[in-house]
Amino acid sequence: MQPNDNCATICPDAETPPAEWVQEMLKAGASRCEILTRLAIAAETVAGAGSVASILVLDEAGLLRNGASPSLPSDYLNAIDRLKPDPNVGTCAAAAATGLVVITPDFCADNKWAELRHLPLALGFVGAWSVPIKSADGIVLGTVGAYFRHRRSPTPAELGGLKQLAAAAALALAK
């Protein structure tokens, strides 16, 4: 994949795609947590001002667990811990269940958020997007999600950047 302008700003240099710097971090012995945290911070840059990112990882039981969410409070993370992938719940659970990008510009207008919308709304978020993290053979390993304080859909560059970061996260999760 070619780096896009948004993604290049968080890479070590403008020519290095996320998959390459993740490979470098793996070779240097960085932990999965360190790599996923860097990817989450990069996702916040790619998704734009005011966004907050979360990387959720499927555990052995098939439940979503926090991989890295450096800008979200622990009580929120505890409330969403162990979500079961479900195409009818939220963005990350739906993306994990379907293997597809899920975009929710407005929690209040999306029935997938009926049971959970109070959680992000309490933090001032009104919408979110989620991109599945997939292994080389297409198995969903988790999600890269971004929350927003205003209603919006991703630009092609933002969505492309998040997809690059999800592909890079798959390298760290395959380790």
One digit per residue, the tens of pLDDT, for the chain of length 175 reads: 333 344 434 444 446 799 999 999 999 999 999 999 999 999 999 998 889 999 999 999 999 999 999 999 999 999 999 999 999 999 999 999 999 999 999 999 999 999 999 999 999 999 999 999 999 999 999 999 999 999 999 999 999 999 999 999 999 999 6
| Residue 33, token pair as written in the block | 């947590």
* CATH number of residue 140's parent domain: 3.30.450.40
Is residue 61 helix, strand or coil? coil
Domain of 160 in residue numbering reads as 5-174
Q: What is the value of pTM for the model shown?
A: 0.91
| Separation CA 99–CA 116 (nearest Å) | 20
| Separation CA 87–CA 58 (nearest Å) | 15
As beta bridge partners, residue 128 has: 104, 147
| Separation CA 146–CA 41 (nearest Å) | 10
Residue of 110, 105, 113 whose CA lies nearest to 153: 105
Handedness of CA 158, 48, 105, 132 (dihedral sign): positive
As beta bridge partners, residue 147 has: 52, 128
Domain count, the chain: 1
